[in-house]
Amino acid sequence: MSDIHDSTWQRLDLNLLRVFAAIWSHKHLGEAAQALHVTPSAVSHALRRLREQLGDPLFLREGRRLRPTPRAEQLGPAVRAHLGELAALLAPLQRFDPAATQRRFVLGLREALEPLVLPELFARLQRHAPGLQLASVRLDRARTEIELREGRLDLVIDVARPPAPGIGSAALLQEALCVTMRAGHPLRDGMRVEDYLRMPHVLVSGRPSGPGIEDGALATLGLGERHTVLRCQNYYAASLHVAQSDALLTLPTRLARAIGRPLGNLLRSLPFAAPPMGLALHWHAERADAGIDWLRAQTLAAAGG
């Protein structure tokens, strides 16, 4: 931003740059206001001040969205980079005391994976930071990078996948898959691949369609396709159906023990080789925050312990 006149720079409020960065990321005043935790009218007022000071409209209406002007497109990456550098410079001044904190952290996590992650993690957090609050919220993969960058999410736990630019990532856990079935199931004493394939199946997924890990393994091995009769969003609902039917459920072993066994469901090995479910921890690499750094370390430790 070296071409901005010195007098303009001296009069510019740093908060206006934060507003500019949010509008540039979201291309929508309401969404920018949500990210900044202010009202849309406050964002609109800040944008008006920016337009006056920089002598450019910056964003033009295009339907429901905002289209950056060439000047805004030029400024956008530079403003984000400079705000990130400033946060990094101020990071050594931050202090985070787990024992005294009353802070609320937000974790992006699919509903189906909560039983696999939350009990161990929150038990650990309560031991070290009894005043801390943790919110597990629905994960929208298409907005993960934006919500991490804008601070609406502090961390994300999701199936392992290539991270987006600017997103840090670390392997969290690898969980072997198994099969659950009701007590008295026809396959309780033994199961071949052909037996597995001819039975009805339940698939747990947050997506409306698409294969599970086990379907990919079957396809890779050329073993055929299974018949999925129920697709749902959480393993408890799936396990309830299994307890009352001949359907099979393939799921992480730890979840099968925690959810299926109390319902009387049996655990059996998969009759074919399938990769484990891999989970990864994601965060925004440009956010310098001692509290998030601590939470990240505790999350990794809980998964390893």
CATH number of the CATH domain containing 67 = 1.10.10.10
Question: Is the domain of 146 the same as that of 223?
Answer: no
- Confirm whether 252 is domain-assigned: yes
Q: Which CATH number does the domain housing residue 295 bear?
A: 3.40.190.10
In angstroms, the CA 199 to CA 196 distance is 6
Question: Is the domain of 150 the same as that of 187?
Answer: no
Question: Is the domain of 11 the same as that of 71?
Answer: yes
Listed as own residue / partner, the contacts of 184-192 with beta carbons closer than 8 Å and 24 or more positions apart are 185/246, 185/266, 186/246, 187/248, 187/268, 188/266, 188/268, 191/268, 191/271, 192/271
Question: Is the domain of 56 the same as that of 69?
Answer: yes
Report the number of distinct structural domains present in the chain: 3
In angstroms, the CA 195 to CA 178 distance is 15
- Confirm whether 66 is domain-assigned: yes
Return the axis-axis angle of helices 29-36 and 14-26, rounded to nearest 10°. 130
End-to-end CA distance of the chain: 47
SS (H, E, C) 38-59: CCHHHHHHHHHHHHHHHCCCCE
Per-residue pLDDT tens digits of the chain, which is 305 residues long: 444 444 455 556 677 888 888 888 888 888 888 777 677 888 888 889 888 888 889 999 988 899 989 998 888 888 877 776 676 666 554 678 999 999 999 999 998 889 889 999 999 999 999 999 999 999 888 888 888 888 889 999 998 777 677 788 888 989 999 999 999 999 999 999 999 999 999 999 888 888 999 999 999 999 999 999 999 999 999 999 999 999 999 999 999 999 988 999 999 999 999 999 989 999 887 776 889 989 999 999 998 74
Question: Is the domain of 191 the same as that of 230?
Answer: yes
CB 222 within 8 A of CB 300: no
Listed as own residue / partner, the contacts of 140-144 with beta carbons closer than 8 Å and 24 or more positions apart are 144/108, 144/282
* Domain residue limits at 46: 6-93
- Confirm whether 287 is domain-assigned: yes
Among 68, 93, 118, the domain-final residue is 93
Q: What is the pLDDT of residue 106?
A: 95
CB 284 within 8 A of CB 107: no
Cα distances (angstroms) measured from residue 77 to each of 14, 17, 72, 81: 16, 12, 9, 6
Instruction: Give the residue from 277, 88, 42, 262 showing the smallest Cα distance to 178.
Output: 277
- Confirm whether 207 is domain-assigned: yes
Question: Is the domain of 170 the same as that of 286?
Answer: yes
Instruction: Sheet containing 266-268: give its strands across.
Output: 227-232, 200-204, 248-252, 177-181, 266-268
Among 61, 93, 125, the domain-final residue is 93
Question: Is the domain of 113 the same as that of 25?
Answer: no
Question: Is the domain of 140 the same as that of 289?
Answer: yes
Cα distances (angstroms) measured from residue 34 to each of 31, 43, 66, 147, 167: 5, 10, 16, 10, 21
CB 16 within 8 A of CB 75: no
- Confirm whether 99 is domain-assigned: no
Question: Is the domain of 211 the same as that of 283?
Answer: no
Look-up: residue for tokens 């399938």? 274
- Confirm whether 98 is domain-assigned: no
Verdict on whether the full-model pTM lies above 0.75: no
Question: Is the domain of 282 the same as that of 267?
Answer: no
Question: Is the domain of 114 the same as that of 259?
Answer: no
Question: Is the domain of 123 the same as that of 182?
Answer: no
Among 93, 115, 130, the domain-final residue is 93
Q: What is the pLDDT of residue 162?
A: 73
Q: What share of the chain is helix, strand, coil (3-state, %, to 5)?
A: 45, 20, 30
- Confirm whether 1 is domain-assigned: no
